[in-house]
Structure 1
Amino acid sequence: MDGNNVNATGGCPVMHGSNTTVERPVTSWWPKSLNLDILHQHGARTNPMDVDYNHRDAVKALDYEAVKADVQALMTDSQDWWPADWGHYGGLFIRLAWHAAGSYRLGDGRGGAGTGNLRFAPLNSWPDNASLDKARRLLWPIKKKHGNALSWADLIVLSGTIAYDSMGLNTFGFGFGREDIWGPEIDINWGNDSVLLAPTDERVTNIEDANSMYNPLAASHMGLIYVNPEGVNGNPNPASTAKYVRMTFLRMAMNDEETAALTVGGHTVGKCHGMEANIGPAPEEASMSEAGFGWNNPNFNGKANTAHTSGLEGAWTTNPTQWDNGYLDLLFGYEWELKKSRAGAWQWEPVNIAEEHKVPDASDPSIKHNPIMTDADMAMKVDPIYREICERFHKDPTYLADTFSRAWFKLTHRDMGPKVNYYGPDVPPEDLIWQDPVPAGNADYDAAAVKDKIANSGLTAIEMVNTAWDSARTFRSSDKRGGANGARIRLSPQKNWEGNEPIRLEKVLGILAPIALDAGASLADVIVLAGNVGLEQAIKAGGHIVEVPFEKGRGDATEEQTDGDSFSDLEPLADGFRNWQKEIYAVRPEELMLDRAQLLGLTAAEMVVLVGGMRVLGANYGESKHGVFTDREGTLSTDFFVNLTSMAYSWHPVDNDGFYELCDRKTGAVKWTATSADLVFGSNSILRAYVEVYAQDDNAEKFVRDFVAAWTKVMIADRYDLVA
């Protein structure tokens, strides 16, 4: 009986590790298993809001001025439990907003401030984010007061923007509209470093070449937002650090001028904290008695000058609570030498500084300290390109203020997508190229007449389907870029991408463009409408009559409205939906397909239904026959699912590159060929469960309806105007 007695020695009524820990997820037991969790990480089960809650509607009703006034008042409302430096929280909230936004990277559009992800692991416990837990707690009364309409994501960025306003900078603007997530973003690859703050060597192939860092990573270490403030791998060398600063900001779509402005403007206010102390663990591993806080400082006595974050200690300017030109005055006005902070961190301090240029103590203004610079700050003086830019800033403070305010706006709004997603009285009227502007489209035309012209154009169904898909598949839910709106598939660089089959693309666009012109419709609309025409033809061939929904009103972007350099990062190097990848990668094809599905905002069921349908339509790149498990190609049928689950065929690997043959069990004859991106739907237990639904005899019509719904979701993924 003792074996079942929970009160016996060592007994416990809970099976450890089954529900409360993640030490043993399925993929740790079976590493080859495809983890589909990223497709459902922000599903309805994790969201505490009512089913009919619409955040856009809520934001429109928010009392913007009251929120701004509350944040403004907080700036100088110093709290005993976490006192403000010099009585002003500006530097803290700027760092909060900066570090929320600074995790964004252009490579896959992930990270950034748009979701409030700084509340969750790993970001909430990164060493670089030390003490930002206090900043969020200071903001809590404002979040509590204004409720659902004020997201944490908006409040975090707003706090940094208001901080600059309160210290004398005329900021460029602010847009409300970010919507919170409710758990960690498990789809983001932050790197495979062995430990936090592991040497940069672990994420570059050549330490001397910052550009050799593995994409899409941007920060020089796991746990940092940008670069090590003490130098590459903690070794001060401003020239070397400059290379990593340039690479990091470039991977955030910032040019040298924006990078220099952000460095100068970011360090014009606030300070570093380096109290020598035995700092406790980060929030994710702190004891319950810490009430959600981390980095317990046993020597903290309620004084601002005893706080500890980076280990560096000091302010960059003589007046750290006001926007001025003091950073550049000091940087260029003195020679600088390496020193150690009281916590033992490398920092640069001025040689023979005048007493009037020293910095008042954060708690006791009668005490003065040397200002400091990090290795990245010194890079602004040592690197010839950055120095030239900073010298122009120094001579023209108005130019610096304008450049910085625009760069700050870009930094904190980059992942919000088009301006239609911005709300509030401070949204700048100017259209900025990084917002991927698209002119308003015309909806006053006869879509039915256009469909007739398309149907009689001589284009095949699959030419139309593939062109529409290629146009829409660039959409990234991570930063709301790409998609069919704008018809940028007809512009450089997209028209030349290998995955878009340029020869076929040129042919199709050459036929569709005159139809669009004659009808007064955008080419963006006509490309999508043509895809629908091709799909409806395939549906009819299967014995069903279903009209594919269509929304008019897309516009056509121009070359001048297209940031070609940043759009290069949207180029697909693989597309499992069309059974294609540019070359063999270390990542398996099915994992690349999963990544694409997640960026498109698809669920696992939607991914399954789209892949199965695209295969039987014959939508493969280059007319490949891999995975086309049907004898009636071009018909939207359930044949992919039926034949994948049929025991009439056995599967045989052809080589080590993920290619297979499906052979008749009786004769041994090869019936079909496949890739791992096909067979995973029959081998993975979760995917097979979805596949079996569509393989059933009673679900042929359901499959057509579900395919049309998933297809339409992709086609309108970037149509924020439809729900605005």
Structure 2
Amino acid sequence: MKEKNSRKRWITDWWPNRLNLKILRQDCPNSNPYGIDYNYLKEVKTLDIDAVIKDLKELMRKSQDWWPADFGHYGPLFIRLAWHSAGSYRMYDGRGGAKDGSLRFPPRINWPDNIGLDKALRLLWPIKKKYGKKLSWADLIILAGTVALEDMGVKIYGFALGREDIFEPDESPDWGPEEEMLTSERMNEGLLDKPYAATEMGLIYVNPAGPGGVPDPKASAKEIRMSFARMGMNDEDTVALIAGGHAFGKCHGAASENKLGPDPSFSPIEQQGLGWKFKHKSGKGSDTFTSGFELTWSSTPTRFGIPYLKFMFEYEWEIETSPAGKAQWVAKDAPEIIPDAHDPNKKHKPRMLTADLALRYDEEYAKIARRFLEKPEEFEKAFAKAWFKLTHRDMGPKTCYIGKYVPEETSIWQDPLPEKDFESIEEKDIKKLKEKILNSGLNISQLVYTAWSSASTFRNSDRRGGANGARIRLYPLNEWEVNHPDKLSQIISIYERIQTEFNQEQKKAGYKKRVSIADLIVLGGCGAIELAAKKAGFEVNVPFTPGRVDANQEQIEVGFYKAIEPYADGFRNYLKYPERFSEEDIYTTPEYFLVDKANLLTLTVPETVILIGGLRVLGAVYKYQKYGILTNKPETLTNDFFINLLDMGIEWKAADDYRYTFDGYDRKSGELKWKATRTDLIFGHHDELRAVSEVYASDDAKEKFVNDFIKAWDKVMNLDRFDLKIK
């Protein structure tokens, strides 16, 4: 008899390889219970953060019977909560992290690495309840961990408010290819596939027992280095975070994992969202299960210090088995000097994880760890700074930071920009500069392509990139293949000439007005669109807001921007490796990467459709080839892309073995009419995308097409203008 749970309920159950556009509908204003007029950034500015800190410190020392505090202090649990909220960040697409409080929802709340963190959230509920709309969960989670560190002896580097909650799960599909937790299909010849940072499904970083559960510290060190690098951490950051974090608290593995109940989402309704009920004795306190390891790292688990590092190098270590059956390490011939978490009359030997001993047996990690052991003050500073980086890395530039404890220092990972020390250009200047750009010899395709290339580096996942700063002219972005390095240098030189002439004129006249290359690049795109619309018969004004500045080379995190160079960008019809995708796996296809990119740009389905159609007819495609330019009037802002894509007089046929490029033939004459890629044809094939495309292909949609394209264009050009949004 067929089981009930095998029924197909959703479209994705029936057609799992259908392109899913759901991520373009996430974070809808209708899902926010505070309403569309709610502005968290304004609300949090009225928060009395010192009162919150006072409440947190009081809460941490009040152990609750329903979930007793280890060592009488919830600080270590809140540190783990904050760490695991921030620690899922991954550099390649900026997803994960602590910016939106998404740890509260699946999949992350249900990951095995997060067992018990549902309890930490419930412990914080009284504080969230007290401060309501003035304090987001996202901010509270990180503040709780940071205050815990301070309460247990760490001199904090700084803290910023400004993380806005989401109210639905982040359903970005590419958390990993695995179908089961704690398995790995993302490792190939010892390397992690992009964009992943964790080595196994359901982990934050690496398997603490060693690669694949094998207790090999040196092999573990290789995975740790790779995993932490994927979240933008160097060796010093890594050692500081592990040694500093493991100065506190303990692991839990009182009995077999077989006694562990389902995760929060699968738990019975009467548990009210609390998962992993452990059916061993009391199931809490000393009878708890989280990771399956049973150990405490330090002799002072609620005070910051160096016992963790001291024990690591002072003792020799041998493998033992935890009560839950996990391989862990115990110090040979060591006295019982570790306090018990709940019984003051008990003591234990020092114990560690395989991933801990990686810091001793890896040569480079050991050098750093020994230096920290010998110089405790240096260790504390390094840990505090690395913690700040861990918990703030996905917040974006410092203009997004709010509160009295924001540190003055700016780090390279915050995409710093120079202070604006000039007055912005005015309307008359904009008109004059626009004319100069359009008479410079640059065509519409070049101007639009360059502006889009600059602005579309933005990604909302960690608020990095964007047009402000004109980083596209600096290394390594100026060498990205998709940015046309050779042609880009020529285009930038023209903009630099226009900038120099204008700024010298202003200086000579005694004015403080200046124009940046960043503004000129965007202005060039806007002017080109106005000209293209005029050629289509429409007089329009494309919005332009000046005030951008130019970054310098020293303000570019070179390693980061090298790592994130795109290998697919459907908006520009670019795919570096057409031989690597398979139609049988939707998540490898260029059309999937287009949707992924649209999500990072915060675009809706209609915005994605309209931008593709506009960019194509404007000729803003990779290498300015014919692919996707489905018009006989290129550089004219018409709805021809949609008209010709949906033309039933055209028959499309694959033009290569990979089924990436296609030729469109006239059904009657057999004449080759158009060339396109999968990223173009998906707008006629996919039912939802076709439905929107039909709107813009209609005879009465010509003006709507122009207006909607301009609106979507303006949105992308200003995605990184936090200087405007934060006010």
TM-score range, shorter chain: over 0.9
Q: SS of 1:459's equivalent?
A: coil
Q: What CA RMSD, in Å, does the superposition of the two structures yield over aligned residues?
A: 1.6
The corresponding residue for 1:38 is 23
Matched, 1:270 2:249: yes
5 Å-filtered alignment, 1:313-332, equals: 313-332=294-313
The corresponding residue for 2:479 is 496
CA contact under 8 A between 1:350 and 1:372: conserved in structure 2?
A: yes
Distance 2:673 2:431 in 1: 41
Match of 1:444 among 424, 437, 441: 424
Match of 1:289 among 264, 270, 288: 270
The corresponding residue for 1:605 is 606
Letter in 1 for 2:367: E
Distance 1:702 1:376 in 2: 58
CA contact under 8 A between 2:30 and 2:36: conserved in structure 1?
A: no
The corresponding residue for 1:713 is 715
CA drift of 1:52 comes to 0.9
Q: Deviations over 1:68-114 (max 9, x none)?
A: 21112111111111111111001100000011111111011111111
Matched, 1:408 2:387: yes
CA contact under 8 A between 1:338 and 1:349: conserved in structure 2?
A: yes
CA contact under 8 A between 2:445 and 2:624: conserved in structure 1?
A: no
Letter in 2 for 1:582: K
Q: In structure 2, do the counterparts of structure 1 residues 44 and 103 end up closer, same or farther at CA, with 3 Å as the change threshold?
A: same
Letter in 1 for 2:424: D
CA contact under 8 A between 2:85 and 2:98: conserved in structure 1?
A: yes
CA drift of 1:188 comes to 4.5
The corresponding residue for 2:683 is 681
Distance 1:215 1:234 in 2: 22
The corresponding residue for 2:543 is 549
Q: In structure 2, do the counterparts of structure 1 residues 485 and 23 end up closer, same or farther at CA, with 3 Å as the change threshold?
A: farther
Q: SS of 1:338's equivalent?
A: strand
CA drift of 1:444 comes to 2.7
The corresponding residue for 1:665 is 667
Distance 1:22 1:685 in 2: 24
CA drift of 1:443 comes to 4.0
Q: Deviations over 1:185-239 (max 9, x none)?
A: 11141211231112x4x22122xx2xx2111111121111111111111110101
CA contact under 8 A between 1:268 and 1:320: conserved in structure 2?
A: yes
Letter in 2 for 1:560: E
Distance 2:720 2:374 in 1: 43
CA drift of 1:716 comes to 0.5
CA contact under 8 A between 2:277 and 2:283: conserved in structure 1?
A: no
Matched, 1:477 2:460: yes
Matched, 1:339 2:317: no
Query: Which stretch shows the higher mean deviation, 583-592 or 83-92?
Result: 583-592
Distance 2:7 2:431 in 1: 53
Distance 2:480 2:377 in 1: 41
Q: SS of 1:111's equivalent?
A: coil
Query: Which stretch shows the higher mean deviation, 564-573 or 134-143?
Result: 564-573
CA drift of 1:489 comes to 0.6
CA drift of 1:456 comes to 2.1
The corresponding residue for 1:61 is 46
Matched, 1:143 2:128: yes
Q: SS of 2:351's equivalent?
A: coil
CA drift of 1:23 comes to 5.2
CA contact under 8 A between 1:300 and 1:307: conserved in structure 2?
A: no
Distance 2:12 2:322 in 1: 44
The corresponding residue for 1:256 is 235
Q: SS of 1:416's equivalent?
A: coil
Matched, 1:395 2:397: no
Q: How many residues are paired up?
A: 699
Letter in 2 for 1:444: S
Using the size of structure 1 for normalisation, the TM-score is 0.94
CA contact under 8 A between 1:474 and 1:570: conserved in structure 2?
A: no
Q: Deviations over 1:361-391 (max 9, x none)?
A: 1111111111211111101010010000011
Q: SS of 1:283's equivalent?
A: coil
Match of 2:12 among 27, 48, 56: 27
Distance 2:604 2:116 in 1: 36
Matched, 1:701 2:703: yes
The corresponding residue for 1:3 is none
CA contact under 8 A between 1:536 and 1:546: conserved in structure 2?
A: yes
Distance 1:627 1:461 in 2: 16
Match of 1:243 among 204, 222, 225: 222
The corresponding residue for 2:117 is 132
Q: Deviations over 1:459-512 (max 9, x none)?
A: 112111111111111111111111111111111001111100011101110000
Identity, in percent, stands at: 50
Q: Which runs of 5+ in 2 are unaligned?
A: 504-513, 582-587
Q: SS of 2:652's equivalent?
A: strand
Distance 1:188 1:631 in 2: 38
CA contact under 8 A between 1:485 and 1:524: conserved in structure 2?
A: yes
Using the size of structure 2 for normalisation, the TM-score is 0.94
CA drift of 1:651 comes to 2.3
Distance 1:669 1:302 in 2: 74
Q: Deviations over 1:501-542 (max 9, x none)?
A: 011101110000122233321111111111111111111111
Distance 1:601 1:530 in 2: 23
The corresponding residue for 2:511 is none
Letter in 1 for 2:300: N
